[in-house]
Structure 1
Amino acid sequence: MKKLILLCLIGVSFYAYLQDNPQVIERIEETVNTENLSNSNTSEYSSSDRALAQAFKNKQSDLQIGGSGKVVKVLADDLKGSRHQKFILELSTGQTLLVAHNIDLAPRINGLSIGDRVKFFGEYEWSARGGVMHWTHHDPQGRHEGGWLLHNGNIYQ
């Protein structure tokens, strides 16, 4: 009986630790997803990758979603109107996604390079080339759900 109580206390303590440290869960999930993709002939993708693939297939827009991808191209900043840092991510599905990050409202990602991993949360807009992720920043008027980018442990919003 004492062993059972001790085991329960350890479980509760570990659960509390994970709740206070969500990055541990993310690392575990990334490891598991990476192992599943490399050890399997079937396509197993994250739910966000599947949602983005469906949105692309169905030509949907205005989808608030998060995910991650690898930088495959860094583009020149768009300086017309609101300034945007632009780069292309490749998702685990192979789909590409243009990120248009408003640098008038949020800090730019300095030192962004091909091969870097970027996590994102924002609004997806369909395009024939895979789609555009925008609203990766806060809304100063508070009328739109805020988004963000995560690169090398730094959040940009």
Structure 2
Amino acid sequence: MAEQRSGVQVTGEGTVFKLLKDDNQGSRHQRFLIELPEGQTLLVAHNIDLAPRINKLNTGDTVAFHGVYEWNAHGGVIHWTHHDPAGRHEGGWLKHSGKTYE
């Protein structure tokens, strides 16, 4: 992520510091901002048409992730945090409070 590369499969963990409204244009995405231990911030865009929503997500919660990182000037975006129904792409996931969302 520090190399400003995009399209990279990554795994990590961060603390939720802001919950955003869902993106309902096209595939629906649950969106929230996390801060990594080193201080970098990321937007998590979790496709809730393909994976369950994280209910009871709050600021201050820890979320682990495995997905695709896309660099931007604000820190970046993590997406593909779900399975691939077509089986052509490595599946991703989110983990929150002991439950895996994929």
TM-score by length of 1: 0.64
Q: Structure 2 unaligned runs (5+)?
A: none
Partner of 1:32: none
Paired residues for 1:52-63 under 5 Å: 52=1, 54-55=2-3, 59-63=4-8
Larger strand fraction of residues? 2
For the aligned residue pairs, the C-alpha RMSD in angstroms reads 0.6
Task: Choose which of 67, 79, 82 in structure 1 pairs with 2:24.
Answer: 79
Larger helix fraction of residues? 1
Cα deviation for residue 99 of structure 1 reads 0.2
Q: Is the radius of gyration larger for structure 1 or structure 2?
A: 1
Q: Indicate yes or no: 2:7 matched with 1:65.
A: no
- What is the identity percentage for the equivalent residue pairs of Structure 1 and Structure 2? 64
* Greater relative contact order (CA < 8 Å, ≥ 6 in sequence): 2
Runs of 4 or more above 2 Å deviation = none
TM-score by length of 2: 0.98
Q: Deviations over 1:83-126 (max 9, x none)?
A: 00000000011100000000000000001000000000000001
Partner of 1:10: none
**Count of residue pairs brought into register by the alignment:** 102
Q: Structure 1 unaligned runs (5+)?
A: 1-51
Q: Indicate yes or no: 2:74 matched with 1:125.
A: no
1:96 partner amino acid: T
